Amino acid sequence: MLRAKSGEAGWTALGAMSGTSLDGVDAAVVETDGERIFGFGDTGYRAYRDEERAVLNAALGTWAGAKAEAAAEVVEAAHIEVLQGFNGIDLVGFHGQTLAHEPRGRGTCQVGDGQNLARTLDLPVVWDFRSADVQLGGEGAPLAPFFHFACAKWIKAQAPVCFLNLGGVGNITWVDPSKDAPENEGALLAFDTGPANAPINDLMRERLGLDCDLDGKIALNGEVETGALELFLAEPYFARMPPKSLDRNDFAEMVGLVRELSDADAAATLTAMCAAGVASAMPHCPAPPKEVLVTGGGRHNPVLMEMLQVSLDCPVRPVEAVGLDGDMLEAQAFAYLAVRVARGLPTSCPTTTGVRALVGGGVVSEPQG
C-alpha cells in the first residue's frame, strides 16, 4: 500500500517517458518529496525496435481500436523490460505513449495501462497524468514545468531562466526561481513552441531511411528556403497567447512545404522552422530569461543550437552545463510528478496548461488493484 513517507529522503521514485520522437523509453530515478529534489539516481534506456516503431507510427492519431491496442502492447512491454532493471523503488511514474492530443476537442490519449505495470512490477504506479487537466479546461501539456521549477531551485538559479525541451514537439518553461512554489503567481509560464524533431525525423525516414539528421550533418550542407519559413510562421498557432499545446502531427504539412527541395535544403528549412518557433515564443516570457537551457534530442543538433543562439537574445546552453541530464529530464519529471500525485499536490496550474484552477492529475494503481 502506498503510504506517505517522512524525513529528508522523501521517495525513491522511478519515472519513465516515451516521447513523440518514438525513439524509445527513458527511465530515471529521483529522490524527492515532490517539492524539493534531494538527488538523482540510476537511469536506463530501451530503444524501440524497427518493427515496434512501425506499430507506434501506424497508431499515431488514433483514439481506440486495433492499432491503439497494438501500440499499447508495445509500450507496456518496452516499459516493463527497462523498469524491471531497477531496485529499491517506492513508486513509478508512467506517462505512456501519446497517440493523439486534442485538448479543445476529443481530449488526450496516452496508451499503456498503469494497472498492468503495477501488477507486473509489484510496485505502485502513477499514470494518466493528463486527463484531469484536460477535463478542467486545460491543455494537458506541457506537464514538466513543475519539475522545471524544482530544477531551477536545484541549480540555485538566481534570475528567471527558460527550460526548452526539443523532442518531437518543442516546449518551453519560463521559471522565476525567487518564488516559493511552482503554483505561486508569477512562478511559471509554459507552452509548446511548435514542431521540433518530429518533422525532421519524418523527412529523414521518408527520404533516406534514417532515424534522424545525426549531428545536423545533412542540414549543415543545405540552405533555408525563406518562402517556406514565412508560410510556416504565418500559421495562426504562433499568434495565440499561451498556454497552448500541440499534437505531434499538427504541423504535418511542414514536410509538404519542403517536398520539392533537396534533402539538405529540406533538412535545413525544417531545422530553421523549429528555431523560428522558439524565437516567436520568447516575447511571451514575463521577463527576459538569463539563459535558455536546452533538453531533449534537439540539443545534440549543432545546426539547430547555432540557429537558436543567433535567434535569441540570451545564452543558449544544453542543460548539462548546469549539471542536469538532458536525455533523462522528462523521465525524471514523471518520477517527481508521481510523488506529487501521491502527496495530493498540484501538478499543473493556469499558467502551465491553461487549466481553470490548480489540479493534481494522475491515477495511482496498487499492485493488487
Q: How far apart are CA 127 and CA 334, in angstroms?
A: 9
Cell of 177: 526561481
What is the chain's Cα-based Rg?
A: 19
pLDDT tens-digit profile, the chain (369 residues): 455 454 455 899 999 999 877 889 999 999 999 999 999 999 999 999 999 999 999 999 999 999 999 999 999 999 999 999 999 999 999 999 999 988 878 889 999 999 999 999 999 999 999 999 999 999 999 999 999 999 999 999 999 999 999 988 999 999 999 999 999 999 999 999 999 999 999 999 999 999 899 999 999 999 999 999 999 999 999 999 998 988 877 888 888 899 999 999 999 999 999 999 999 999 999 999 999 999 999 999 999 999 999 999 999 999 999 999 999 999 999 999 999 999 999 999 999 999 999 999 899 999 986
115 Cβ partners below 8 Å, 6+ apart?
125, 365, 369
How far is residue 185's CA from residue 321's CA, in Å, rounded to a whole number?
28
The hierarchical CATH code for the domain 11-141+328-350+357-365 is 3.30.420.40
pLDDT of amino acid 318: 98
**Domains 11-141+328-350+357-365 and 156-322 alike in fold:** yes
Specify which residues 174 forms β-bridges with: 162, 189
- Closest to 161 (Cα-Cα) out of 63, 289, 249, 253: 289
- pTM for this entry: 0.94
Give me the pLDDT at residue 254, please: 81
End-to-end CA distance of the chain: 10
Contacts of 351 (CB under 8 A, 6+ apart): 187, 188, 189, 190, 243
What pLDDT is recorded for position 6?
A: 44
The amino acid sitting at 169 is V
Give the DSSP letter of residue 319.
G
In angstroms, the CA 17 to CA 20 distance is: 10
Cell for 256?
A: 509538404
CA distance 312 to 305: 11
- The pLDDT score that the predictor gives to residue 1 is 47
Give the three cell numbers for residue 145.
514545468
Q: How far, in Å, CA of 344 to CA of 38, rounded? A: 19
d(CA 50, CA 297) in angstroms, rounded, equals 19
Domain limits, the chain: 11-141+328-350+357-365, 156-322
The fold for domain 156-322 equals: Nucleotidyltransferase; domain 5 (3.30.420)
